[in-house]
A and B are shown apart, each in its own frame.
Chain A
Amino acid sequence: MNLLTDMVPNEDILRMAEKEEPRLLSILLKDKDSLKDAISFGIKPTGTKDPGHFFGEKNNFLYAMIMGNYVKYGTLLTRSAVDSIIDMQSFGTEEEKAANKAHWDKIWNRHDAPVEDYRILRDHMNDRYIFWQFYLNWKNGEDIIKSPNDHSDMIREFKQGMNGIKNMDSDTYSLTMNVEEGMGLALEHIKKRRENPNDTDVIMTGLKPIDDIFNGLERGSYTVVSGMVNGGKTTFMMNVGFNVSKQGKHVVYISLEKKGELFFRRLLALHASTDYNRIKRGGTGQWGLTDFWYKKLQDAAKDLVERVKPNYKCCQFVQGTLLTKILAEVDTIRAQRPVDLLIVDYLQVIGSETHHIGRADLDLADIHRRIMAYGREHSMVVLTALQLKNSSSKEIRNKAKKVTGDADISSVEVNTEDYAGSQMIIADADNALGLVLNGDKPPTKMFVSFSKARDDASRLTIQLDFDGKLGRISDPEYHHSQIEEVNKEVNNLIYDELMDEKKLSSDDDLFDNLEQKEKNEAKVDPKTKVKKQIIEGISTTTTTTQAREKFVPDSKMKVAEEIKAPQQSDDEILKELSLDKKLHPSEKVSDNAFDDFADSFDIG
């Protein structure tokens, strides 16, 4: 056989190619479905810079005809079509033309491979293709070794070549289906959704207003988040990533702006509910890392590592890193476990591999398209950020400044034309969210404008709680039960002259009440505590245990059972308490035992 690749130093591979290529071609001449699959899978003939899948020259030529004919006419390549195509060719001698026609005959008549073999033949052919690309690149290694200079450039090129090897993964995304198949799948999906509405494979952001609108982000979907400079894009994506990873999903955060270490510092500050400025200031002074806050951060880190164990990875790259390199790193991570959510922060700082002179927007669109395709192909949700146009930022900021309550939030609108870069990005994306902070100093709310949503939520605006010091974005509805409590506290604070602005912006004594109550509780043995609960009925303290009851119905039931168990009268309990030598002095039972108890726990 006349091989294109006489230089491949692997006889076994050459032998396999000689044997399998005609068999695969015989299937592609007869079975349209297999041919469609081969094209969408990416089986291709030799291109300008691509060796192609076929080692045999005639096989390569025949496949080019088969593919060209199907793409143009949607039909299989018949013998008469081969005649017409070859006769119309202006190149090649008569002998060569006759040989190519005879090759069709040979494949058709002598290699009658069953259609069932198609997949294995296709996969073997793809393996050889990958090997062939690797080998071509590997050969360049010799030039590096022999060269006296320019090593770094040559090695970089070599590395890019290695990263750029195509068809490493099978293309599971491309497929063609007809109405019958489509309806079958649609009904199957609908039935499943009807019977198990909670059994869903979508990714929930953990921010209820957004999840309510999207009903979770579909796998393979691509969401662009946009905002002005210092407008909370990174904070938003970090929070969504954290929420998703806490659900047990695998999240990869590509950071081209900030160091990975910094990312995790912020994450820790968020989990510890600690003002990030304390970490920045350092020291043990009042506004730095006092013993209390240092312990809080240590506890939070321990809690994250040992209990929460979020599957959250941060890949740090310098601005301008090529997308190929970034995706190669994600590939490495994916090899260990499939990635559910890929966050790219952010598009404009990724190095371009195309160079449209004077059209940087097209380069950006190319980057976006590759990330989007990557997410689709690997069935992961992609979340990426994009800047807003400067011209739009000012106008949107001014609108946001005027909005305070719920009434006017719809006036904060980020439209698709406000996004910087190519309009192709927004045109392609499944969802586009515009983030705008409100006019408070510092901001207290984040408006999320749905610039583009596949569902009917387009142009809606919702609001989220925003705390820049913690880097926390949360859902006000999630804490619905707490809204009233918070508002009541706000009303107390604004009229409390002792709480000046300095104290209001401080977090010095945030945990004081909780800690004090914890300490008081620790002094009482559990049995006494249960008895106290019987006496007090429903407690109003906000200790950890009671706070848990607010969130955890099951534990509430358990406590209720505990309380039920003793079945003692108040007198019996008092009698027993007076004999308890281990009690803290503040809990000594007097005539006003109930009141003393209440005082010691700061109840009521």
Chain B
Amino acid sequence: MSEENMSDHEIKIQEAYKIRRARQLAFAILQRAKDAGIPDNQMRIKESEFKALVSDNFHEEGKEFVANYVYNHPEELFQRSFVTIDGGNVESRKRAGFALLFRLIACDKSGFHENCASLVHKFQTFKATAGVFRNDVADTLKEYDVLFISEFRVNMFNPNYESGSFFDEILGSRTDHNKLTIISFSDAIQKQDDVMMRKDRDCGEYLSSLIQREKTDRTVYRLRVGTI
């Protein structure tokens, strides 16, 4: 039927359908965010609250610019490979990370959150006889459009295990396929810099070089948060 023949009824339906579709998609995004591991109290963080989380004096462009960039131009973040979050305290870093993850999932993307400690622990405790293998976990993490690894700390890595190589595998694949990874650091990045360079065998080359790359590489975006 041509559009000219649409009845009042159908036009109303068409209008209502837009609202219905928007609700349906919003509902799906909330479900996806839950599946991604975003806790209920870290969900739906608004732009104003995110702006308050951003460090007052680190970003030359100002807090407003950063918040506007994240909330109103999220597609530009997908041009990058990494977003690093540091500063503040554990609460503010996590909240900023979840806010970012949620905003990016809302761009019709898949996402996942994993705490760095539990990920490292997972890699270090896998047994050869386990039903799930390290590669399976690594393969899954490679596929998400956005991956948020929270509370990274070099000391978590044990040199006797190959966790670093698994991180390299995951992050290498994600970078090659233009998939964004958000990493929040428990310590200020400057403090970690030297340690990481020395411990690159433990946490993998990608993570250890991230800090260096961040200074020159446009594909890394750094977000400094303040304390809540």
Residues of A within 8 A of B (CB): 246-248, 271-273, 299-300, 303, 307-308, 402-407, 440-442, 444, 465, 467, 470, 472, 474, 479, 482, 485-486, 489-491, 493-495, 497, 499, 501, 504-505, 507, 510-511, 513-514, 542, 544, 547-548, 551-552, 554
Contacts and interface: CB of A to CB of B under 8 A. Distances in A.
B56 interface: no
B11 interface: yes
A495 B44 contact: yes
Contact of B10 (A303, A465, A467, A497): A303
Given A303-B7, A490-B26, A514 B106 contact: no
A564 B71 CA distance: 43
Nearest to B106: A494
Given A440-B28, A504-B30, A513-B19, 11 more contacts: A273-B17, A299-B9, A407-B145, A467-B20, A486-B21, A497-B44, A499-B26, A547-B11, A547-B14, A551-B14, A552-B6
A153 to B, nearest CB: 48
B110 A507 contact: no
Interface string B105-119: 011111000000000
A479 B22 CA distance: 13
A154 B14 CA distance: 55
Q: How large is the interface on B (under 10, 10 to 19, 20 to 34, 35 or more residues)?
A: 35 or more
Given A402-B110, A490-B29, A544 B8 contact: yes
Mostly, the B contact residues are helix
B12 A494 contact: no
Contacts of B94: none
Contacts of B22: 486, 489-490, 493
B171 to A, nearest CB: 18
Nearest to A513: B19
Contacts of A403: 110
Contact of B25 (A490, A501, A510, A511): A490
Interface of B: 1, 3-4, 6-32, 44, 46-47, 102, 106-110, 143-145
Contact of A444 (B7, B28, B102, B106): B28
Contacts, number: 120
A489 B18 contact: yes
A307 B26 contact: no
A404 B109 contact: yes
A501 B30 contact: yes
A505 B22 CA distance: 10
A544 B11 contact: yes
Given A402-B143, A405-B109, A554-B4, A514 B23 contact: no
Contacts of A485: 18
13 contacts: A273-B13, A303-B7, A303-B9, A303-B10, A405-B108, A490-B22, A495-B44, A497-B44, A544-B11, A547-B15, A548-B6, A551-B11, A552-B3
